[in-house]
DNA sequence: TCTTTCTACGAAACCGGTTTCGTAAATAAA
DNA sequence: TTTATTTACGAAACCGGTTTCGTAGAAAGA
């Protein structure tokens, strides 16, 4: 239990704690001979400096907070890897906090972060978050924040997003091209940028094709899978039911499949489906799922890079847009089995 | 940037820092009137105590470390939720660290944890870990550890596991029952308990049915998906190729599907497949995937509960076994479309 | 030789809480 | 009324590092 402290090293070597500290930090004030002795003993005793003591004195934690709705989502798990890779390289630890799509949890986490626990925060807001007051409050306390993917318009923080509107438009156009007459849109809270932007891309594509966007074809889902399933089934039981679905978040795809299954609707014959998703196994679903695939790892890495600059006091671009790609597979019908991949339309500014 | 410290509160209220601290911690030494004043001001200024200062003085961090191979795995993401739920309730923060199945990363993380960063560790070891020396080293430094799912025999820490051998045996028997003549087993490193135990369950089931377990039908995979895919294809290209596959970890399922697809082998007609997995969308794969499903959330919660007891200095049971269930679906052929679910054979000792 | 400049180290303050201990004033017991 | 006890608070030590500042002795310059 008794940790090996710097004091123990000092006693052992008959040196002062300040000398040990300086030696460990390779200060020029310490002779090479002494440094060697200190380093050797530290290695032998497997000494690890207490991070809390360092944080306290240095007034920085070398921790970054990652605040996301959940981890069981391939976009977020890939983004985490991107973030962690950059953070680790720069000597930062990542603290992952999950909101479970609950704004109350999100607020509590950001409140906690006012304590100085982290030097900066990367976040993707929850589906129940109405505005960015809690994020601004954190920023007012001097904690830099970078938003990625799910951003909010009223937060003056740098943002890393994909070309949501364009991608949703492309997805919608693919469905229309493949014969859909009535395309529905499944999103989350319209307060979320990804919902709003993807919705507007969907609407533009409809208008462009001479269709009128209809409110009844737009469904706002939430974190309750069961309720979402019921809503989707209600949508698909309508007499004038949609024959195409653009789903804006990954977790909705299985629900659409399940709903179709339970209602004996065939994909893609009766309903064509495309979903924003990074699922590796999209191609092995029944039928294989067409997706809008985001560069999740790169977005995480980019966001982490921005945050690190920000924490160093540098100025950074306020919006980075990276392109997503569409992978057409079985669920959108069309040209057959081969995936017709469109390349990311890279409108990025990095 | 300037955090609100306890000193600021003291100055504002013309009290000493010790009085503020005691008031905030509801000490009996402080009058109700003073407590009220302090609490009010703290609330008004949105004061949050610096966790590092508290940790330093109290010599405990109220953090628990979660060390797992990856997060893009439904077992682990569910387990995290179970852990976090319990931890949060007990006032602990969770620090998630990913090893990416790399023993070097795992060692580095545990080394870091010797610093006092966490009060206890929950872990599921990486696929490249050969032994538990690094875990024992951490424990020798007084940090309690609880292993879950992927455990090692040579670590004297409490373990939370499923009935791996029994479940793998059941999975194998299901394949045999459905007509397989030659069942292969895909695992990770045989050093891992889950690989070894599941393998032995598979072998027992084979012997029980009068088959001889063959080394050529056992494949040890690793973290390299491409290499794994090649190995699986090699297995399935053999003249006497297996007609059944038991896959011991979730990430192998898509690879088996892909290999069959590329080799034009039909599931379940040519090859029947069952996999240890918690994937929600297993039922929507092409064909739907039969699974051995573990109670991931409960395992995480149970492990966290044990760790918390351990950190409180209590003694706990050294091994908790919880049952897994088999969900038979399309990939194992057999009785048709309806999933034939076996209930978890609960041999748990909790 | 005497002064100046390094070199190499130690003492002590500091980060922001927590806790022990001491104490003045108020209250209770003798 | 005197003594004992309780109440309510402040001073200071402490956690384990980091950093500033001071200085003895050696080396270099005058």
User: Tell me: the pLDDT tens digits for B235-253?
Assistant: 999 999 999 999 999 999 9
pLDDT attached to residue B335: 56
Partner A, chain B 125-144, Cβ-Cβ below 8 Å? 137, 141-142
B11 touches strand C (CB under 7 A): no
Long-range contacts of A201-205 (CB under 8 A, 24+ apart): A201/A164, A201/A165, A201/A166, A201/A167, A201/A168, A201/A169, A201/A170, A201/A172, A202/A168, A202/A169, A202/A171, A202/A172, A202/A246, A204/A165, A204/A169, A205/A168, A205/A169, A205/A170, A205/A172, A205/A173, A205/A176
Neighbours of A275 (CB within 10 A): 27
List residues bridging with A36 in a β-sheet: none
A215 touches strand C (CB under 7 A): no
pLDDT attached to residue A335: 57
Q: Which residues of B touch A70 (CB under 8 A)?
A: 77
Q: Which residues contact A173 (CB under 8 A, 6 or more apart)?
A: A205, A208, A209
User: Tell me: the pLDDT tens digits for B67-109?
Assistant: 999 998 999 999 999 999 999 999 999 999 999 999 999 999 9
Mutate to test the interface with B, among A95, A102, A112, A281 (most CBs of B within 10 A): A281
Average pLDDT over every residue of B170-178: 97
pLDDT attached to residue B330: 94
User: A113: number of CA atoms within 13 Å, CB side?
Assistant: 32
What is the set of domains in chain A, with CATH numbers? 6-49 (no CATH), 61-162+297-322 (3.40.50.2300), 164-293+325-341 (3.40.50.2300)
Contact B95 A98 (CB under 8 A): no
Task: Flag whether pLDDT at B1 surpasses 50.
Answer: no
CA dist., res. B263 & res. B165, Å (int):
31
Plot region of B228 (φ>0 → left; ψ -120 to 50 → alpha; else → beta) = alpha
CA dist., res. B320 & res. B306, Å (int):
10
Mutate to test the interface with B, among A59, A113, A115 (most CBs of B within 10 A): A115
CA dist., res. B246 & res. A111, Å (int):
47
C6 closest protein residue (CA to C1'): A29
Q: Which nucleotide is closest, CA of A57 to its C1'?
A: C15
Q: Which residues of A touch B49 (CB under 8 A)?
A: 115
CA dist., res. B334 & res. B172, Å (int):
14
Average pLDDT over every residue of B263-284: 95
Contact A281 B50 (CB under 8 A): no
pLDDT attached to residue B2: 63
Given a contact cutoff of 8 angstroms between Cβ atoms, the answer to whether A70 and A98 are in contact is yes
Average pLDDT over every residue of B280-294: 92
pLDDT attached to residue A346: 36
Average predicted confidence (pLDDT) for chain B: 93
- Whether chain A has a CB inside 8 Å of the CB on B70: the answer is yes
Task: Flag whether pLDDT at B28 surpasses 60.
Answer: yes
Q: Which residues of A touch B84 (CB under 8 A)?
A: 98
CA dist., res. A300 & res. A148, Å (int):
7
Strands B319-322 and B272-276: what pairing?
unpaired
B22 touches strand C (CB under 7 A): yes
How is A183-239 classified by DSSP, letter by letter? EEEEES-TTSHHHHHHHHHHHHHHHHTTPPP-GGGEEE--S-HHHHHHHHHHHHHST
What is the greatest pairwise CA distance in chain A? Answer: 87
H/E run at residue A11: helix A6-13
B29 touches strand C (CB under 7 A): yes
Q: Which residues of B touch A116 (CB under 8 A)?
A: 3, 48, 50-52
pLDDT attached to residue A247: 98
pLDDT attached to residue A347: 35
Per-residue pLDDT of chain A (350 residues; tens, 9 = 90+): 468 999 999 999 999 999 999 999 999 999 999 999 999 999 999 999 999 999 999 999 999 999 999 998 999 999 999 999 999 999 999 999 999 999 999 999 999 999 999 999 999 999 999 999 999 999 999 999 999 999 999 999 999 999 999 999 999 999 999 999 999 999 999 989 999 999 999 999 999 999 999 999 999 999 899 999 999 999 999 999 999 999 999 999 999 999 999 999 999 999 999 999 999 889 988 899 999 999 999 999 999 999 999 999 999 999 999 999 999 999 999 754 334 444 443 333 33
Of A48, A96, A284, the CB nearest to B114: A48
Among B272, B320, B326, B318, smallest CA distance to B294 is for: B326
Task: Flag whether pLDDT at B258 surpasses 70.
Answer: yes
Torsion, Cα of A158, A159, A163, A168 (10° steps): -150
Average pLDDT over every residue of B151-171: 97
pLDDT attached to residue A160: 98
- Whether chain A has a CB inside 8 Å of the CB on B88: the answer is no
Question: Distance from first CA to last CA of chain B, Å, rounded?
Answer: 48
Q: Which residues contact A327 (CB under 8 A, 6 or more apart)?
A: A282, A290, A291, A292, A293, A339, A340, A341
């Amino acid at each position: 239990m008794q940790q090996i402290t710097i004091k123990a090293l000092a006693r052992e070597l008959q040196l002062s704690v300040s000398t040990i500290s300086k030696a460990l930090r390779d200060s020029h004030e310490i002779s090479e001979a002494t440094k060697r002795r200190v380093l050797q003993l530290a290695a032998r005793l497997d000494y690890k400096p207490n991070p809390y003591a360092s944080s306290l004195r240095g007034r920085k934690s070398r921790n970054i907070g990652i605040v996301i709705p959940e981890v069981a989502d391939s976009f977020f798990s890939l983004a985490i890897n991107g973030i962690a890779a950059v953070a680790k390289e720069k000597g930062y630890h990542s603290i992952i906090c999950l909101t479970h799509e609950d704004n109350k949890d999100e607020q509590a986490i950001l409140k906690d972060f006012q304590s100085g626990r982290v030097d900066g925060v990367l976040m993707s807001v929850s589906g129940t978050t109405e505005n960015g007051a809690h994020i601004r409050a954190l920023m007012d306390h001097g904690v830099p924040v970078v938003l990625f993917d799910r951003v909010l318009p009223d937060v003056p923080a740098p943002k890393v997003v994909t070309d949501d509107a364009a991608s949703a438009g492309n997805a919608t156009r693919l469905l229309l091209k493949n014969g859909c007459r009535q395309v529905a849109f499944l999103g989350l809270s319209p307060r979320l940028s990804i919902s709003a932007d993807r919705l507007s891309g969907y609407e533009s594509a409809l208008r462009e094709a001479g269709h009128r966007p209809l409110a009844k074809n737009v469904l706002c889902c939430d974190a309750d899978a069961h309720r979402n399933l019921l809503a989707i089934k209600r949508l698909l039981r309508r007499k004038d039911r949609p024959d195409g679905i653009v789903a804006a978040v990954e977790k909705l795809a299985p629900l659409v499949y399940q709903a179709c299954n339970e209602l004996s609707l065939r994909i893609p014959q009766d309903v064509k489906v495309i979903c924003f998703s990074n699922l590796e196994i999209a191609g092995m679903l029944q039928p294989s799922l067409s997706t809008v695939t985001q560069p999740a790892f790169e977005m995480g890495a980019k966001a982490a890079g921005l945050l690190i600059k920000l924490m160093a006091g540098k100025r950074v671009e306020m919006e980075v847009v990276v392109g997503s790609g569409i992978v057409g597979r079985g669920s959108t019908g069309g040209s057959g089995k081969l995936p017709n991949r469109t390349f990311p339309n890279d409108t990025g500014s990095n």
